[in-house]
Amino acid sequence: MVHSVRQAWAAVTAAGRSPRADGSAPDTIRPLFAADPQRFESYAFRADNMLLDLSKTALDGRAMAALLDLARVTGVEARRDAMAAGEHVNTTENRRALHMALRAPAGATRASGGAAVAAEIHSTLSRMHAFTQAIHGGALRGATGQRFTHVLNIGIGGSDLGPVMATRALVNPASPMTALHLGNVDGHGWRAILATIDPARTLVLVASKTFTTQETMANARLVKGWLAQTLGESNAASHMAALSTNLAACADFGIPSERVFPFGDYVGGRFSMWSAIGLSLALALGWDSFERMLEGARAMDLHFLKAPLEANMPVLMALAEVWHVNALGLNRRAVLPYDERLRRLPAHLQQLEMESLGKRVTLEGETITQATGPVVFGEPGSSAQHSFMQMVHQGPEPVPVDFILVARPDHPWLENHRILLAHGLAQAEGLLAGKDEAAVRAEMTAAGTDAATIEKLLPHRIFPGDRPSTTILLPRLEPFTFGQLIALYEHKVSVLGTLWNINPFDQWGVELGKQLANPLLEELETGSTGTTPHDASTTGLLRELLRLRGDG
């Protein structure tokens, strides 16, 4: 098998380096459209009403054959099925990866986590539902008898990024509560929130699996102190709930067990939005919307589990990533959602992809000799067109782009939406087509530009084109399609883990910073240095901080 995997990788590499049969370079895209007017139909894929267009990439028959062979010999289907069956695919932590089980309906036979896990998940969902209904119906109220109108979620990483993204994507004028999020330990974030909320009508959720996450607990103590100061010490607990598995620590903090909603260690933070971590979504959006989000994700789960590799959207997206990163050496990717509601999607994908795939050793502990994922960045379109898209169009290295378009808006200003869609389509078309010297010369001549000016400006106005992009088209942005979209990217990540032979479900690099911060915090608290050895730079910076703070 090792020899077969090596051969498969060699075929992918060869497809990215050697000319095609027609003599065109393997990274060019325009010749593929010239040779095949029906290329869109061949490289557009569907799951329900979602469409994935890979036609504006340099993938051709030779590349796709090599990539699909790679998927087969690396065991993408077997690893997918092992994950669905609840095997311990997170080998470095000896854990399962059961995010699909979080959205499996009662009675599901596939990707349900097994009877015990399914019962545990649905018990928590039932409690979340009852709690949500009690809050919305007024059966559970604040200490002063007023209804809760705001929910403040305190978390960090996956306990914050996912809920923030989903809330901003799906909140609407009819949403039952206002959601606020406190993630960064920087007190300026709390100051900004503090000016907008009434403690008597605010429900606080503390999201930490272990209930020991330093940043989250610092913020939780801050907010609990505010509740105690404004409502009275004995009333603070009635305004709090926890998303955690550490019942003892929650009780010590003053949150009783009936207000604690657990999630298992088989769920990583960046995959946890579908679990108890989603309670803020259920409260802010309504239970029906939360359920529809789970159903959308489940629909993508079933597509991932059942569709053949040749038509499997998560698999195809992962193969396109391998093509760009490993075959063509393109180590950056931009994400441009042309919908303002998805403005936090790039940040969520940064964590989902870079935390999952930022690994330097294989599953066997051997040093990796190839790239495992690009740097992911992005902003909503059309705003991004006025910032980093200049580099994407004319920079020396192509940057693959994910364009996400939504056909129908949920607002009445159709002219604005038509302009938005036109710009999204135009950006992808411009990256593909570019503008050559002849076109620039003709355009400037037609505008009456003199010959000398044309010659001077000509190099600056040429666009090379042949720059790859992928387009995901949604009919509308609503809970079901949103769930589909996020699950699509989740499964893409798990497939990439298989293709690159790495564990996408651990995050040891996150732990290092936590360990190093503790002795530095002690030194900042005591105002002294030298108690713990540091490098010269860190020691110098620490002394300078203490001096500027007035401690030295």
Task: Please report, for the domain that includes residue 9, its CATH number.
Answer: 3.40.50.10490
Total residue count of the chain as it appears in this document: 552
Q: How many domains does the chain have?
A: 3
User: What's the pTM value of the predicted model, to 2 decimals?
Assistant: 0.97
552 closest CA partner among 531, 518, 524: 524
Place of tokens 């598995």: 245
Clarify whether residues 167 and 23 are in a common domain.
no
Query: Domain end: 293, 325, 343, which one?
Result: 293
Which of 443, 514, 522, 544 is labelled catalytic? Answer: 514
Distance of CA 232 to the CA centre of its chain: 39
Q: What confidence score (pLDDT) does residue 119 get? A: 97
Question: Which one of 215, 291, 353, 355 is the catalytic residue?
Answer: 355
Dihedral sign for Cα atoms in the order 41, 47, 53, 55:
negative
CB atoms within 10 A of CB 75: 16
Full domain range(s) for residue 538: 508-549
- What is the per-residue pLDDT for 551? 60
Q: Is 386 a catalytic residue?
A: yes
pLDDT for the residue numbered 529: 81
Do both 315 and 280 map to the same domain?
Answer: no
Residue 288 shares a structural domain with residue 314:
no
pLDDT for position 390 = 96
Q: Is residue 82 a part of any domain in this protein?
A: no
- Asked if 193 and 262 touch (Cβ cutoff 8 Å), the reply is no
- The answer to whether residues 320 and 283 belong to one domain is no
Chain-centroid distance, C-alpha 120 = 26
Q: Which of 386, 397, 429, 443 is catalytic?
A: 386
Which amino acid makes up residue 216? T
Q: Rounded to 5 degrees, what are φ and ψ at 401?
A: -130, 135
What local confidence, expressed as pLDDT, does residue 475 receive? Answer: 98
Beta bridge partners of 51: 46, 473
- Assess if residue 457 is contained within a domain: no
The answer to whether 355 is a known catalytic residue is yes
Domain match, 224 and 352 both:
no
Q: If the chain, 552 residues long, is cut into consecutive pieces of 10 residues, what is the mean pLDDT of each piece?
A: 86 97 97 97 96 98 98 98 97 97 95 96 98 98 98 97 98 97 97 96 97 96 98 96 96 96 95 98 98 98 98 98 98 98 98 97 96 97 94 97 98 98 98 97 97 98 98 98 98 98 94 88 88 91 91 56
Tell me, yes or no, whether 522 and 489 share the same domain: no
> Are 66 and 122 members of one domain?
no
258 in active site: no
> What is the Rg, in whole angstroms, of the alpha carbon atoms belonging to the chain?
26
- My answer on whether 334 and 483 are in the same domain is yes
